[in-house]
Structure 1
Amino acid sequence: MGAAVTGYFTAFSLILAIGAQNAFVLRQGLLRAHVFAICLFCAVSDAVLIAAGVAGFGAMVEAAPWLPLVMSLGGAAFLIVYGAMRFRAAWVGDYAMVLEGKSMALIPALATCAAFTWLNPHVYLDTLGLVGAVSTGFEPGPQKWVFGIAAICASFTFFFALGYGARLLGPVMQSVATWRRLDAGIGVVMWLIAAKLIWPLI
């Protein structure tokens, strides 16, 4: 029981922080566009990384010292571009399609989600690093994997709650001004995270 509780709340607390991936899931949830596919992709990606971390795969990062730099630069570049897109959308204010509930097609949406997920170095730190490290407090065997499964369940719980819970905000997202504020806020989050990735490299 202790392993399950520790695994669930460790993972949930790490995912809870507002980040680029969460902001994208929230936006898709507000649009009610490809919500199931987006949430499933995020949760399964986390499951793969958590399983790898619990299995002791975190040593991969230590074995490839160049990986954090490559991931930081690639992730920062993507966040800067996507943040600029959100700022431009907020500036132009053309939300006719958004207010009609239209979004990008499924494949581009999944590709964008994949970039937010796999180009974010913090994902690896949280899953391969921190979750993997906490899992070492349990003996190899059933207890350790109970910890991992509970952590994976936390990821599924969070992303589906965020994606489908976003529709509760639907009534207040019926104006161009509100969408402008949301996109501007997302742009700020993207650029702040990009700055956080780049700053240690300067």
Structure 2
Amino acid sequence: MLEAILHGFVLAFGLILPLGAQNVFVFNQGAVQPTLWRAIPVVITAALCDMLLILLAVLGVSLVVLTVAWLKTVLYAVGVCFLLYMGYLTWRSRPSVETGEAQQFSGKRQVMFAASVSLLNPHAILDTIGVIGTSSLSYTGTEKWGFTISCILVSCIWFFSLSVAGRLAGRLDRSGRMLRGLNIFSALIMWGVALYMASLLFFS
């Protein structure tokens, strides 16, 4: 049981650590919201979306995405369009905590955008299916649930920690210069991923 829990922890942490649209959005909202609690909607949404993907991967339901060709194509096409749009919004944002010009999303918009960057990211879905879903096949019964719950807890802790880190960065960088630089870098990453996904869509 302990081995399964540790396996789930290490595996989930390795998958969630790389910088991506989801992590960047959670961090940014933690930085620009007036209080940490105002960023809770994005934390909860990101964690719930990850939990959904993990459960689907472990239960094998998400394998449908890999076996139905047109679903995979639609998923990639929507993901490309959304990442291009998110990159545009991120590039245009001019965060400034001092002047109150930071891009403070309402709770509803936080939920919408967090769900989108979580569920419309084909690579995140395929990684979850291919890595977590496949790894879970090694376990049965309580060990399998221990593995699954460990993966889910890593997501919850990670997203809350990201929002706290963003909050601290926002307080230290009152001018918004650091956040502006992060936004530019983030937009370039989103556009790069979108172009890569588009190449897979047209040339694979």
Gaps of 5+ in 2: none
Per the alignment, residue 81 of structure 1 pairs with 85
> Match of 1:109, as an amino acid?
Q
Per the alignment, residue 31 of structure 2 pairs with 30
Over aligned residues, Cα RMSD in angstroms?
2.0
Per the alignment, residue 54 of structure 1 pairs with 58
Whole-angstrom distance in 2 between the partners of 1:196 and 1:54: 27
Change in CA separation of 1:97 and 1:60 when aligned onto 2, cut-off 3 Å: farther
TM-score by length of 2: 0.88
Whole-angstrom distance in 1 between the partners of 2:95 and 2:101: 12
Per the alignment, residue 5 of structure 2 pairs with 4
> Match of 2:20, as an amino acid?
G
Change in CA separation of 1:150 and 1:59 when aligned onto 2, cut-off 3 Å: same
TM-score by length of 1: 0.89
Q: CA offsets per residue over residues 97-146 of structure 1, 9 Å max, x none? A: 874666121112211111111111122112233101011112x2111111
Whole-angstrom distance in 1 between the partners of 2:121 and 2:84: 13
Whole-angstrom distance in 2 between the partners of 1:97 and 1:137: 52
Percent identity of the aligned residues? 31
Structure 1 contact 35–163 (Cα < 8 Å) conserved? yes
Gaps of 5+ in 1: none
Task: After TM superposition, list the pairs within 5 Å mapping 1:30-179 onto structure 2.
Answer: 30-32=31-33, 34-89=38-93, 93=94, 95=96, 99=100, 103-138=104-139, 140-179=140-179
Structure 1 contact 35–164 (Cα < 8 Å) conserved? no
Structure 1 contact 7–151 (Cα < 8 Å) conserved? yes
